[in-house]
Structures are given as structure tokens and as C-alpha cells.
């Protein structure tokens, strides 16, 4: 079997690249180790029949707003892609009963801010107004390949449009920690916590340099556009992409583990499957794997470039994540406000110091006494995911150690995730119960996946790192995945990388796949 382009792994970036190349006349074949395409985008009836849970990723806002979607959105819709929009995006309550939440309606958000601080309400309104002029330049940076020409073009446009002062302010924000940025802009602890929680979705504790950008962008983008999830489940996106690709003549094979990339005269020209089958590639092999796996497993002897291989082996991963999926008879009754039942995300993290303690504990190998909880109420937005009148909860637990050395809470003595899963999930439910009494009595079924389970399900989620590698400044932008190799190429001719380990990093935005495909196939 032979294709113009062969892909290792069927994540959404590989699918995006394959679709674009197929429209340019390339023959493409994708080979996936797992039982279905999609990588960390997967929807299953994990608890009880009729309850559809997004096992990992759930927010499809990055995809809906991506350049790839802008180009192929209409075709994907014809192949079944459908969204459920969320007007009420995210909120953070505190144990004392105060809360802040962001809804697409600016006046609703500002009114909530005003209850906490009139100064902050005015600052939120001003920041939102500024975002309209800032966003095109920021998204241009995040949507451009890390090439000298692209960076110069982006910088030139920003300088012409906004001036040197704005560029310096933006550079300062890009290098700031969430705490530095938020304390400089808001006095309310509730607003700071609500925004800082987004940094923890990646691997940015409150005091990590470079962590201010994501909380700012997510907050302002949600204020501007709202959020979206997949109608019926996040896998609507993957099903549509696979269907579109196959309609273009592409091949997607699951249960097809790739064990080796073969080279001839320094050029990658074939892959070998676990059963010994050889698949040849005329123009490109695209690996959607972590750098360590590329040089340590798939390439016998590495790439031949000592500097690249050394950096790839040192590729760093962020803290781990646990997923707790609940089938519910009803949504939680949040003590702070009945309004919270309408929000897609509820962040349970009352202040920056609590997030800092959880992050530091995870880095030290300890189970946090109180981790940050991201409680997803998808059925408040999309009732089709559960039987009539019933609900699901999607609980993402951050941040956790890949290997357990201790318990900051002092009650769990086991050190293996297989033994810790249920008692730690109990701790998670107890935290929810503090904010929403009687939640335990509404639980009909529970499914827990630890950091070890995440990696077992998907080898790219190393140690349960759902972001596909640390996004700290030393491993982001021109340094991702390794310094000097941010343009998807590798030292091996014909061999490329895509996925969360490459620029622009984690999230369901299809950025690396689409940018690589345009570099290879044009358009």
C-alpha cells in the first residue's frame, strides 16, 4: 500500500491536514493505534446507557473559530458537524457565597462584576472594548507558523496598526504570570480567580511566567462569542472530519499501530505496522506523536541530529489530570446562586493562593488537598446527551502528579493510581458537595479516569498531561517542540510532526495540521 502522505495517529490535527491535502489531489492514509479516530476527542456512554460523556476534550470553541473551520466548515456541516452554543460560559463561586460569571451578554457580566467592585466592572468593560482592536493581531500571531517571514509580517502589521507602545504592552502580557496580570487589572479576588482558572487548564499555576495570555484570551473571547460544544457530543467533530476525508478518497485505519518509521538514505519513506505490514509514503510521513516517542521508539537510532534528539528526549510535560464523569438525576443546586445551573463551566477554585498550592503539590508529587475542579454542565446546554430530565457532569481535576509520592490531604496512603482512583474521586465529590449540598444524592453512575488511565488510553497524554506538553515560555512559540524546529519539519527528510507537541500547542484548534498542510500542498 502506498500514499502521497502517510499519517501516524488520527488526532484532529492529522485529520485536518489530510483533508486539506486530499483536496489538493494528494492520496492520504491515516493509521491509528486506537479503536477509533479522534485522539483526546472521544464521546462514550461511560456511566450508564443513554448518558453521553466527552471523556476528555469538550470545548470546541477553538475549532469553531479556527482557520481550518473557516475554510471547511460548510463541508463539515454537510457531513454531520453540529454545535450547541453556550450563552453562559464560565463561573467561579466561593465558599462564602459570592461568585462571578461570564455570559455572552456584556451587561450581565458587567452587572456581576459591579456587585464585587465598581472599579473592576469599568475595567472589564474597557478591556472588552480594547479586545476588539487587539484580537486580530493576537490571533494572527497564534494562527501563523513560527517562521521568520510570518513573524515579521505579523509584527509589521501590529506595529502599523497599533504602534510600538501596544507591542511592548503585549510583550509584557505574554511574559507575565496570571497573578501579575490579574492583580494589575482587577481588585476583586473572585474575578481574578475566575480568569486565573483558565491558566490551570494548561500548565500555568498562578505564578508561572507566560501564563497570562490564555486567561485573558479565553475570558475575552467567551465574552465576545460565547462558547460551543458538540451537539450530542464532541465526537460530532471527529465523525464529520472522517466522513469528509473518506468522501475525498482518504483512508483511515484504526487498530493499526505503527511501530517503526523506515528511512532510506536519510529520507523517511515508509511506516511499519505491528503486524509487519509496510505502508509507503511518496511525499510525506506526518507523525502525530510526542517528540520522545518519535526519536525513542519510531525512529531506530533517532533522527541522526544529536541536538534535535537530545531536546526531543527532554521534552517536558505538564501536571496530570483526572476525569470524573457522573450520570445525574439533576444538576447540582449551587449554594451561591441558582443562575450557576445555566453555565457550561463551573470552576471550583476560590482564589489564586489555593490554585498555587494545588499546582505546587502536583509538581512535588503530592495529591493536592484541594485541586481545582472544572465542572462541565454540558446537558444544561445540550439536553440530548442524557435521557429526558437527566444530566451529566464532566469533572476535570487539576493539577495532579503523574507519579504519587504523598498526599497533601493526609488521608490517602496508597501510591498507585489504580488504588487511589476511587478515594481521590471521593475527595472530588466532597469538594463539589461543599459548593452544592445534596449533589451526592443525585449521582446515578460514576466513571473515573486517572492520569495513568489517560496515558494508557492515549500515549500522547503522558502522565495524564492533557495539554500535550508544557506550554511554559521555554517550550512554546519558536521553541515548540524543540528550539530551531518549530516549522513542523524534522531533521529527517520527508518526516514532519503535528499535534499538541507542536506550535500552537494544545487545544482543539487544528492549527498545526492546517498550517503544515498548507505548507506542503499550498492553499
**Domain spans, the chain:** 2-41+61-82+233-315+470-521, 88-225, 319-457
Q: Residue 286: what pLDDT?
A: 98
The answer for residues whose C-beta is within 8 angstroms of residue 142's C-beta and 6 or more apart is 504, 511
Q: How far apart are CA 149 and CA 466, in angstroms?
A: 31
Of 127, 461, 181, 226, the closest CA to residue 321 belongs to 461
Q: Residue 1: what pLDDT?
A: 92
Q: How far apart are CA 441 and CA 443, in angstroms?
A: 6
The HSE-up count of residue 297 (CA atoms within 13 Å, CB side) is 15
Set of cell numbers at residue 126 = 474597557
Q: How far apart are CA 349 and CA 257, in angstroms?
A: 40
3-state DSSP call for residue 3? Answer: strand
3-state DSSP call for residue 100? Answer: strand
Q: How far apart are CA 267 and CA 174, in angstroms?
A: 38
Residue corresponding to grid cell 473551520:
69
3-state DSSP call for residue 124? Answer: helix
3-state DSSP call for residue 64? Answer: helix
Contact present, 412 and 423 (Cβ < 8 Å): yes
Of 111, 123, 135, the closest CA to residue 192 belongs to 123
Cis peptide upstream of residue 367 (ω within 30 degrees of 0): no
Contact present, 420 and 406 (Cβ < 8 Å): no
pLDDT in tens, the chain (523 residues): 999 999 999 999 999 999 999 999 999 999 999 999 999 999 999 999 999 999 999 999 999 999 999 999 999 999 999 999 999 999 999 999 999 999 999 999 999 999 999 999 999 999 999 999 999 999 999 989 998 889 889 999 989 999 999 999 999 999 999 999 999 999 999 999 999 999 999 999 999 999 999 999 999 999 999 999 999 999 999 999 999 999 999 999 999 999 999 999 999 999 999 999 999 999 999 999 999 999 999 999 999 999 999 999 999 999 999 999 999 999 999 999 999 999 999 999 999 999 999 999 999 999 999 999 999 999 999 999 999 999 999 999 999 999 999 999 999 999 999 999 999 999 999 999 999 999 999 999 999 999 999 999 999 999 999 999 999 999 999 999 999 999 999 999 999 999 999 999 999 999 999 999 999 999 8
Q: Residue 148: what pLDDT?
A: 87
Q: Residue 446: what pLDDT?
A: 98
Q: Residue 117: what pLDDT?
A: 98
Architecture per CATH, domain 2-41+61-82+233-315+470-521, reads as 3-Layer(bba) Sandwich (3.50)
The answer for residues whose C-beta is within 8 angstroms of residue 389's C-beta and 6 or more apart is 330
The answer for residues whose C-beta is within 8 angstroms of residue 46's C-beta and 6 or more apart is 53, 55, 325, 447
> Which string of DSSP letters, residue by residue, matches 312-347?
HHT-----EEEEEEEEESS----SS-GGGGG-SEEE
Contact present, 31 and 279 (Cβ < 8 Å): yes
Set of cell numbers at residue 426 = 471521593
Contact present, 423 and 457 (Cβ < 8 Å): no
What are the φ/ψ torsions at residue 181 (nearest 5 degrees)? -65, -45
Cα–Cα distances (Å) from 465 to 223, 319, 361, 396, 500, in that order, read 28, 6, 15, 12, 11
> Which string of DSSP letters, residue by residue, matches 366-381?
EEPSS-EEEEE-HHHH
The HSE-up count of residue 32 (CA atoms within 13 Å, CB side) is 21
Give, for 252, the enclosing helix (H) or strand (E): strand 251-253
> Which string of DSSP letters, residue by residue, matches 95-117?
TTS-EEEEESSHHHHHHHHHHH-
Question: Counting beta carbons within 10 angstroms of the beta carbon of residue 97, is it exposed (0 to 12), middle (13 to 18) or buried (19 or more)?
Answer: exposed
Beta strands 99-103; 88-93: pairing state = antiparallel
Q: How far apart are CA 504 and CA 463, in angstroms?
A: 21
Amino acid at each position: 500500500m502506498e500514499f502521497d502522505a502517510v499519517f501516524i495517529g488520527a488526532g484532529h490535527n492529522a485529520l485536518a491536514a489530510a483533508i486539506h491535502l486530499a483536496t489538493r489531489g494528494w492520496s492520504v492514509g491515516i493509521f491509528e493505534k486506537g479503536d477509533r479516530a479522534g485522539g483526546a476527542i472521544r464521546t462514550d456512554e461511560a456511566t450508564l446507557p443513554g448518558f453521553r460523556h466527552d471523556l476528555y476534550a469538550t470545548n470546541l470553541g477553538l475549532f469553531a473559530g479556527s482557520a481550518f473551520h473557516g475554510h471547511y466548515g460548510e463541508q463539515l456541516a454537510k457531513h454531520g458537524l453540529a454545535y450547541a452554543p453556550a450563552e453562559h460560559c464560565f463561573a467561579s463561586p466561593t465558599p462564602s457565597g459570592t461568585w462571578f460569571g461570564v455570559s455572552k451578554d456584556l451587561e450581565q457580566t458587567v452587572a456581576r462584576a459591579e456587585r464585587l467592585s465598581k472599579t473592576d466592572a469599568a475595567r472589564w468593560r474597557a478591556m472588552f472594548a480594547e479586545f476588539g482592536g487587539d484580537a486580530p493581531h493576537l490571533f494572527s500571531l497564534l494562527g501563523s507558523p513560527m517562521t521568520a517571514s510570518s513573524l515579521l509580517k505579523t509584527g509589521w502589521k501590529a506595529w502599523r496598526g497599533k504602534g510600538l507602545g501596544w507591542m511592548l504592552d503585549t510583550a509584557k502580557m505574554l511574559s507575565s504570570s496570571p497573578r501579575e496580570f490579574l492583580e494589575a487589572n482587577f481588585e476583586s479576588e473572585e474575578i481574578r480567580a475566575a480568569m486565573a482558572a483558565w491558566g490551570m487548564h494548561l500548565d500555568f499555576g498562578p505564578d508561572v511566567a507566560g501564563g497570562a495570555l490564555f486567561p485573558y484570551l479565553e475570558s475575552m473571547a467567551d465574552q465576545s462569542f460565547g462558547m460551543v460544544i458538540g451537539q450530542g457530543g464532541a465526537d460530532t467533530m471527529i465523525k464529520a472530519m472522517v466522513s469528509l476525508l473518506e468522501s475525498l478518497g482518504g483512508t483511515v485505519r484504526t487498530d493499526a499501530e505503527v511501530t517503526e518509521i523506515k528511512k532510506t538514505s536519510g529520507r523517511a519513506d515508509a511506516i511499519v505496522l505491528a503486524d509487519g505490514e509496510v505502508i509507503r509514503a511518496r511525499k510525506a510521513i506526518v507523525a502525530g506523536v510526542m517528540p520522545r516517542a518519535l526519536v525513542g521508539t519510531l525512529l531506530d537510532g533517532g533522527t541522526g541530529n544529536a541536538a534535535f534528539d537530545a531536546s526531543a528526549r527532554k521534552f517536558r510535560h505538564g501536571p496530570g489530570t483526572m476525569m470524573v464523569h457522573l450520570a445525574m438525576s439533576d444538576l447540582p443546586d449551587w449554594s451561591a446562586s441558582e443562575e450557576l445551573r445555566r453555565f457550561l463551566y463551573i470552576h471550583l477554585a476560590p482564589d489564586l493562593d489555593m490554585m498555587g498550592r494545588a499546582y505546587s503539590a502536583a509538581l512535588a508529587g503530592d495529591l493536592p488537598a484541594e485541586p481545582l475542579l472544572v465542572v462541565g454542565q454540558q446537558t444544561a446546554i445540550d439536553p440530548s446527551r442524557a435521557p429526558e430530565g437527566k444530566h451529566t457532569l464532566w469533572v476535570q481535576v487539576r493539577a495532579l502528579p503523574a507519579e504519587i509520592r504523598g498526599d497533601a490531604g493526609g488521608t490517602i496512603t496508597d501510591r498507585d493510581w489504580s488504588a487511589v482512583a476511587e478515594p481521590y474521586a471521593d475527595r472530588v465529590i466532597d469538594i463539589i458537595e461543599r459548593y452544592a449540598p445534596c449533589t451526592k444524592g443525585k449521582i446515578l453512575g460514576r466513571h473515573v479516569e486517572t492520569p495513568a488511565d489517560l496515558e494508557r488510553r492515549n500515549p500522547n497524554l503522558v502522565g495524564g498531561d492533557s495539554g500535550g506538553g508544557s506550554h511554559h515560555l521555554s517550550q512554546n512559540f519558536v521553541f515548540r517542540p524543540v528550539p530551531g524546529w518549530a516549522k513542523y519539519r524534522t531533521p529527517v527528510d520527508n518526516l514532519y510532526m503535528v499535534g499538541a507537541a507542536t506550535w500552537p500547542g494544545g487545544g482543539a484548534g487544528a492549527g498545526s495540521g492546517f498550517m503544515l498542510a498548507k505548507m506542503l500542498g499550498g492553499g
